[in-house]
A and B are shown apart, each in its own frame.
Chain A
Amino acid sequence: MKPNLRVKIGSIELKNPVLAASGTFGYGDEYADLIDIEGLGGFVTKAITLLPREGNAPPRTVETPAGMLNSIGLENVGVEAFIAEKLPFLHGLETAVIVNIAGSTVEEYVEVTRRLSECDGIDGFELNISCPNVSKGGLAFGSSPETVSEVVSATRASTRLPLIVKLTPNVTDIAPIARAAEDSGADAISLINTLVGMAVDVQTRRPKLASVTGGLSGPAIKPVALAMVWKATQTVRIPIIGIGGILNTMDALEFLISGASAVQVGTGNFVDPRCTMKIIDGLEHFCEENHIAKISDLVGSLQLSTGGAG
């Protein structure tokens, strides 16, 4: 018998626990020729803001040891153009479509969520709270429990669709942030977004990114992500989606075992567009070989030593 890969994130039913991460999968159509996107558990769109955003000056990406830095700067078409031009392709896709939402003010998050909630074809929202909060001097919404509560409860009130709150790792302690998201009505938490990083060209003595600093992603951040996912699972009861440096089945399994109900693959799509497909096949294989009837049995199965062994 084939193992059951289905998982639930709030009320979103996923056919398998593997999603493509925001900003790495465009609006879905970019990868449609290369993989069967309906084979995915789901995918998260590039961040959508109220108005179109131009994004940052190039260079916007640079490779670093076992990872990369990016500073795209939330370039996107804006919510109205998204609805008119991008949503029709997503509508009716046999995979979960989650729209990533960003803003500079609480009102912007609310407005974008409200507008998108009027449309068909969206299975849920992911709030990107790594964005600078203009009214708090540019400090990220996700950096304090108070601002997290503020933006999550306001957005919660503006939609009935499932709300996933995506946490930034650039905080002192993830636990109170995760708790604030749960207490404010989040259906699930996803983490981690990118870590702040930087690279310098020693010949020209210039930063390698035009924006000086950027977001670090890829295998380099996987241990950090895993530790934060584990910490979050110890803190909240809502489902957790693990993100950070996942390139293969073993990486995905580490997150599931540590308590993530599902995972997202970001940079891995750039390395190999078939990355997600290979992981899905690999998870099925792993379950078969280990006689695991359903993948959800693996979630949170981390064995903590009680001191006896070794």
Chain B
Amino acid sequence: MITQAVGRVLSNEQVAPGIFLMSLKLPWIAQRAKPGQFIHVRIGSQFRPLLRRPFSIYRADAEREEIQILYQLVGEGTMRLSEKGEGEGLDCLGPIGNGFWFRREDAVLVSGGIGIAPLFFLAEAMLGKMSSDDPRGRGRKVTILIGASSRDYLMRRKELELLGAEVRVATDDGSEGYAGPVTELLAATLQENSDRAFSVFACGPRPMLKEVARITVRRRIPCQLSLEEHMACGVGACLGCAVRTPSGYRRVCVDGPVFDAEEVIL
């Protein structure tokens, strides 16, 4: 169920060039959020911007009743979001969407740029919470492939390693890790692990997701993609956020944002 609540900004800091991490006090959402779900945020109070902006839930802490979002400066909305100070209220709808579905299988997570946001939450859920010694994730192997334009934009690497994930890195400019697109790193990883069963989970720019889908579908590896589309209502009413599927258009906001790679035509 989606709820509307005003979240108090607890912190809002730059964590990489043009990337901000915001913590919000949102009890109802924090207690129910699943990895892959998002919140729809009213940033302005007047017309700039007019519509809400969607952001993946990057972390949710039910006990502290907090959620975090990790966001990149893109235009007016995110610019104004970055100016919000501690104590300010932010009108949010959430948690929205289906989220990722997973059991205890091994997993390869593929992140492009800010696509790390929902995948961090997923890795945390798969491996157990960072600071606790919850043994939930033991025995499961989670590999995360992080793609970025250059090393300055490689985010949350240490935190992911602390969680127990195997982290591999690709940068477009070769400043760290594999020099080239993260999808090539994915192809290599799949090759190395061709004797094991696992699922792939990906979030990033559309061309990257298209390539991830191509690679995994061909090898019959189960793969889930978290998609982005322009959104107006965010609750399934306006049909503005359409993605093509073999059986017609579906709504990214409430039918997704996570789709099986075979289910969508990108």
Contact = CB atoms under 8 A, between A and B. Distances in A.
Nearest to A35: B4
A197 interface: no
Interface stretch (A96-104, A129-137, A183-191, A271-279): A271-279
Contact of A66 (B47, B230, B240): B47
A156 B91 CA distance: 44
Interface in B189-240: 229-240
A26 B239 CA distance: 8
Interface string A51-84: 0001111111111011110101001000000000
B249 interface: yes
B93 interface: yes
Interface stretch (B48-56, B102-110, B118-126, B164-172): B48-56
Contact of B42 (A24, A59, A271): A271
Given A54-B249, A55-B242, A57-B244, A30 B232 contact: no
Residue of A57, A63, A269 most packed against chain B (CB within 10 A)? A63
A55 B243 CA distance: 11
A25 interface: yes
Contacts of B239: 23, 26, 46, 55, 60, 72, 75
A59 B242 CA distance: 8
A24 to B, nearest CB: 6
A219 interface: yes
Given A30-B237, A60-B239, A72-B240, A271 B51 contact: yes
A61 B242 CA distance: 10
Contacts, number: 97
A218 interface: yes
B249 A271 contact: no
A58 B233 contact: no
Given A54-B249, A270-B51, A274-B4, A68 B232 contact: yes
A118 to B, nearest CB: 27
B51 A219 contact: no
Nearest to B77: A63
B242 A60 contact: yes
Contacts of B254: 30
B3 to A, nearest CB: 7
Interface in B49-103: 49-52, 91, 93
A1 interface: no
B2 interface: yes
A80 B241 CA distance: 24
B1 A70 contact: no
Given A75-B249, A272-B42, A65 B47 contact: yes
A272 B91 contact: yes
Nearest to A30: B237
A59 B230 CA distance: 7
B250 to A, nearest CB: 11
A269 B237 contact: yes
B91 A30 contact: no
A31 B230 contact: no
A202 interface: no
B265 to A, nearest CB: 11
Nearest to A63: B51
A228 to B, nearest CB: 21
Contact of B230 (A56, A61, A67, A271): A61
A58 B243 contact: yes
B47 A75 contact: no
B244 A61 contact: no
Interface of B: 1-4, 42, 47, 49-52, 91, 93, 229-244, 248-249, 254
Given A72-B238, A270-B232, 14 more contacts: A34-B3, A54-B248, A56-B242, A58-B230, A58-B249, A59-B229, A63-B49, A63-B51, A68-B51, A72-B239, A75-B239, A269-B233, A270-B233, A273-B4
Interface of A: 23-26, 30-31, 33-34, 46, 54-63, 65-68, 70, 72, 75, 218-219, 267, 269-274
